[in-house]
Amino acid sequence: MIDYDGRKFRKPGAEAVAVYRQEDDVVWAEFAGGEVRRGALTGTQRENGVLHLGYTLVLATGEVICGHTVNTPEVAEDGHLRLREVWERYGPHAATGVSYLDEVS
């Protein structure tokens, strides 16, 4: 099991930094910055450090976005974690995709 507690992640080029917390297999984070006024995610860590998370964002426009994501950890060349996100957004702007989050110091 990976210890995510206290680790920080962000999408490359994005301003928002998520600070992860963990208690046993439960993982959560809050974030803000750039287009995101406030964001939160909560879920569980499963086998091999894979995260299954639900998320909610309030954008600068006031739009609320929610969805779920499965994040698979990879070790970057510099030794930091990189999370490969396979996500699905719900609601009027429903979409699916893959993105990455890099661990930052």
User: Could you report the per-residue pLDDT of 30-56, keeping only the tens digit for each?
Assistant: 999 999 999 999 999 998 999 999 999
Distance between CA 94 and CA 90 in Å, rounded?
A: 5
Q: How confident is the model at residue 79 (pLDDT cuts 50, 70, 90)?
A: confident
Distance between CA 11 and CA 61 in Å, rounded?
A: 20
The model's pTM: 0.91
Non-local (6+) Cβ contacts of 56 within 8 A are 39, 40, 41, 64, 65, 66
Residue 8 pLDDT > 90: yes
